[in-house]
Structure 1
Amino acid sequence: MTTTQHTQHPQPPAPRPDAVPLSGPRFHTDPAELYREMRQRHGSVVPVVLPGDIPAWLVVGYRELHHVTGDTNLFTRDMGLWNQWPVIPADWPLLPMVNRRQPSIYYTVGAEHQRHVELVAPALEAVDPFELRRHAEQIADALIDAFCGQGEAELIGDYAKLLPILVLGRVIGFPDAEGPELAQAINALADGGEDAIASHAYLTAAMRRLLATKRAAPGADVTSRMLGHPEPFTDEEYVLDLQAIVAAGHLPTSDWIGNSLRLMLTDDRFAASLSGGRHSVGEAMNEVLWEDTPTQILAGRWVARDTQLGGQRLQAGDMLLLGLQGAHGDPQVRHPGHVDAGGNNAHFSFSHGEFRCPFPAQEIAEAIARTGIEVLLDRLPDVDLSVPQDELTRRPSPFLRGMTALPVRFTPTPAVGGQR
């Protein structure tokens, strides 16, 4: 296995005076208008500044993003090229998202990346779709049983933040009891706050425990299939790939559920589907991927040599952030606010190119999200918001877009105890 070597940069570039801070409430309250303003001021490639006064570029043009994700030679995943490494502190809160020494499917390139793909993809492809849906239905019912008799609930903390990690735990090999703590650690990691580093350490320890458990007693799960792969991998590689599967599988799926439920509870176009159960669930989920995608910004790519993109001059070693939601609103390719009702899937919500989310992972995420929404609507057909729409708030992250809470009321119903 090759180890990424860091290019030495005697004078890391400083942020441009006109760089946009990648923080602040507008990423939570009005991202569409914020991206429009960025585009009007800077074009399709926006100079931004990350916490700690670290410069980067945010790609918000649809065509430019397609180019960046498609040209892995010029815009590489090799984070060792980053010209900011000399000034990145060891406790930088975004370090877990841009780790300088991760031999995982996320942060390897070329043949080494393909080696990890050949480990992970078959293990995910072997997940039985019928068993996956059965797990999702059982766990959804159990979560709803905990609050269905009360006539009110908070659907993010009580449901959307728990369902994906519990279902993934079943197929990956975690016991159900570890799900809530794992969900808490993954969310803290993504929000990039003061507890991000500690949460990363917890997640790493959990993966090591899982690895030891499955090595001692293999089962019909993703982890055991990875351990059974014929080519040897180090424990660090297994742990990092498992972290990637769990984090990328849970976070966007959780927010996909929450954002879709918010849309269906606040938009009159979907009112009939609430009482009718499953009619427009797929349409709402697809609209969310365009208009309210869970992954708003994805890190990252690094420029292999000096070049130009979207009218901006980029230096070798510059970091590019993939502005997925910004690109979705690019007026050159589509009208903001308009979604093809027939199902336009040309979005970037699963990224694009060589490092696109593996198709089996996409299928798993969609099955969990759709099942979770459908079961909830079946069980609570008259569910409605219990607070005014304008009181709903979003998670404090420019990278991920999800609800902090979704309080609802409904007619109390009896628990089903796993039997429907």
Structure 2
Amino acid sequence: MTTPASATPNRPTASTAGALGGCPMAVGAAAVPLGGPEFHTEPQVLYRAMRREHGPVVPVELPGGFPAWLVIGYRELHQVTSDGELFPRDVALWNQWERVPEDWPLLPMVGRPMPSIYFTAGAEHRRHAVMVGQALEEVEPFELRGHCEQLADRIIDGFCHRGTADLIADFAVPLPVLVLARLIGFPDADGPRIAEVLRDLADGGPGAQEAHLRFGEHMRRLLTVRRAAPGHDVTSRMLAHPGAFTDEEYVLDLMAITAAGHLTTADWIGNSLRLMLTDDQFAVALSDGRHSVAEAMNEVLWEECPTQILAGRWASRDTRLGGRDIGAGDMVLLGLGAANTDPHIRQHLTTGAGPSGPHGNSAHLAFSHGEYRCPFPAQEIAETIARTGIEVLLDRLPDLALSVPAAELVRRQSAFLRGMTALPVRFTPVRPTGDFS
């Protein structure tokens, strides 16, 4: 594929035709590299600069030199996610496939054409969504909260006697994966191994491809076990669904459920705890306010949502979006974090003192929107895990305090995911409460 010689201000010039017959978008001189420290230090400053220079739809360059459009306008993102025919989540449409190497680190995140809930479109996506949605809907809320409380207590017992902890590595990361592993049918002992795989996968580093293979192996073993001995779990309910699905489809859907719910929920917990520990407005949650926990969690979804950029959508035909000419097969990235802070709509969404309003306005796009948004049962599961975990932690360790200055806290180096690498705290040591096995 040749490199373009020039680009217009409105749209980068096209290059040679891609493998799928479309006209691939080429990176122009103004394309913003989708990486660098600004994305994980002060992303909102960077998004404001993008708006000034490019407007609501920004030409960007993914690692490896792959072009894409990043949608940072709330209205434009709502338009993309509301039109599943014009902007389907159909990776097969991408006009860059002929250039993608087998070892591209972002390949597991972007995906290949495959029969899963996350990488199918239209009727095929809906077929998977019905099966997965019904399996998740049958998770009993009281039982789920019991799992969360039991596992949170077990995790806290492992460090509560020390008087110090890293709330990311010691609590926020292990809790969601242990709960999710139990829900889909894994024994508790497998949770830490799955967490390690998902961490390698989500950060998109050199080990992402190998982690993806290990992830699939875990799910294939689980499928074999649950087919032989069904239980009261998501996997068994998926297998009992009357639709005809292959083992590959079951495995891919189980991978999607677990991967989408693990690190995002861990970051929701970590970002909420950071807010409570550093912002006076939410500090009451540390001492006497369970209601403040919910407010802090909602604030995080507006200001620091765990999924900052979501890949992706692909234009099914040439179109216009936010004053840009989008070509058939162009990748369209959902800038969820940027759209939530779009100044053109925030004044209409906020009321009262706080950025999210006193009544917990939930018009944010943290879970995306439209046909391909995070399924509602999955959102409820994530919220229950995060809120219950935080409440148990504050009940057990009510005098939590940061053990380093807030300015020294470090974000994960990712443009796509926003979370803490560590959250060191101190507290009065307490005795473990017991064995929760």
Superposition TM-score tier, normalisation by shorter sequence? over 0.9
SS at structure 1 position matched to 2:365: coil
Matched to 2:175, the amino acid is L
Indicate which of 250, 270, 282 corresponds to 1:258. Answer: 270
**TM-score, normalization: structure 1?**
0.96
Indicate which of 361, 366, 371 corresponds to 1:354. Answer: 371
The offset of 1:418, in angstroms, is 5.1
Q: Does 1:70 align with 2:87?
A: no
Query: Which digits, 9 at most, give the CA deviation of each residue in 1:58-117, with x for residues without a partner?
Result: 000000000000011111111111110010111111111122222101111111111101
Q: Does 1:380 align with 2:397?
A: yes
Alpha-carbon contact 1:293-1:325 (below 8 Å) kept:
yes
Partner of 2:73: 61
Alpha-carbon contact 1:278-1:377 (below 8 Å) kept:
no
Runs of at least 5 residues in structure 1 that lack an aligned partner in the other structure: 1-5
Identity %: 66
Alpha-carbon contact 2:311-2:334 (below 8 Å) kept:
yes
Equivalent-residue separation in structure 1 for 2:138 and 2:355 (angstroms) = 37
Q: Does 1:408 align with 2:425?
A: yes
Alpha-carbon contact 2:165-2:424 (below 8 Å) kept:
yes
Partner of 2:9: none
Equivalent-residue separation in structure 1 for 2:175 and 2:168 (angstroms) = 10
Matches within 5 A, 1:17-416: 17-335=29-347, 338-416=355-433
Partner of 1:3: none
Matched to 1:260, the amino acid is S
Distance 1:41 1:343, change over 3 A: same
Matched to 2:61, the amino acid is V
Alpha-carbon contact 2:25-2:68 (below 8 Å) kept:
no
Equivalent-residue separation in structure 2 for 1:179 and 1:11 (angstroms) = 44
Matched to 2:227, the amino acid is R
Matched to 2:378, the amino acid is A
SS at structure 1 position matched to 2:210: helix
Matched to 2:163, the amino acid is G
Instruction: Calculate the aligned-residue CA RMSD, in Å.
Output: 1.4
The offset of 1:203, in angstroms, is 0.5
The offset of 1:155, in angstroms, is 0.5
Equivalent-residue separation in structure 2 for 1:53 and 1:271 (angstroms) = 44
The offset of 1:32, in angstroms, is 0.6
Alpha-carbon contact 1:255-1:294 (below 8 Å) kept:
yes
Partner of 2:14: none
The offset of 1:277, in angstroms, is 5.0
Alpha-carbon contact 2:95-2:330 (below 8 Å) kept:
yes
Query: Which digits, 9 at most, give the CA deviation of each residue in 1:270-318, with x for residues without a partner?
Result: 2222111524000000000000000000010001111111111111110
Runs of 4+ in 1 over 6 A off after TM superposition: none
Equivalent-residue separation in structure 2 for 1:114 and 1:352 (angstroms) = 15
Distance 1:284 1:9, change over 3 A: same
The alignment covers a number of residue pairs equal to 414
Alpha-carbon contact 2:93-2:314 (below 8 Å) kept:
yes
